[in-house]
Amino acid sequence: MNREQVFIKTPLGIAKLEGDQEGLTSFVVLDGDEQPTTVIPEVLEDAVYQLREYFEGERKRFSLTLNPRGTDFQKRVWEELQQIPYGKTISYLELSKKVGDVKAIRAVAAANGQNPLWIVVPCHRVIGSDGSLTGYAGGLHRKKWLLEHESPVKQTTLF
């Protein structure tokens, strides 16, 4: 099956989406200077539309077919991430409990960091037990922006 890709402009930078008839496989924000795609492949139209709504503050939950590539354990973690409500956060410890093994906190954190579907699978909603912003593949400045974007109380700064 041929994977399609598209580059879109977001408030966080140019994002690259990949997917095929089986679903969205990847969404990451890049640090390069790629140009937005002018023609969006049909298999990615809905994802582009829903992401635009998210960034405009009109969408709180995605309804897309997802097909990320990863191990069974990673997929279990990513499925659990999708249960974190918009505007809420949980700790890595809480996430490892939800996955079913409090001792697997490092493996859960590693799976969180390998999430290929940023924002759609909200790994940015996982924070340190002390409330601190901890690692984010897209950089802490993007994690901070996303959490502030989703915050029910708009403040000058959240962290």
Q: What is the mean pLDDT, run by run of 10 residues, along the chain of 159 residues?
A: 91 95 95 89 96 96 96 96 95 93 90 94 93 84 94 64
Strand order through the sheet with 4-10: 4-10, 13-20, 23-29
- CA separation (Å) from 67 to 87, 101, 117, 131? 24, 24, 9, 31
* Per-residue pLDDT, 2: 84
Q: What pLDDT does 132 receive?
A: 85
Joined tokens for residue 93? 């410890």
User: What residue type is 28 in one-letter code?
Assistant: V
Based on the number of CB atoms within 10 Å of its own CB, is 130 exposed (0-12), middle (13-18) or buried (19 or more)? exposed
Q: What is the predicted pLDDT for the residue at 116?
A: 96
pLDDT of residue 14: 95
Q: Tokens 């109380």 appear where? A: 153
Q: Are 25 and 53 in contact (CB under 8 A)?
A: no
What pLDDT score does 159 carry?
55
Among 123, 126, 127, 146, the one annotated catalytic: 123
pLDDT at 101: 87
Place of tokens 């049909």: 42
d(CA 157, CA 38): 34
Residue with tokens 């996955």: 99
Q: Is residue 123 annotated as part of the catalytic site, yes or no?
A: yes
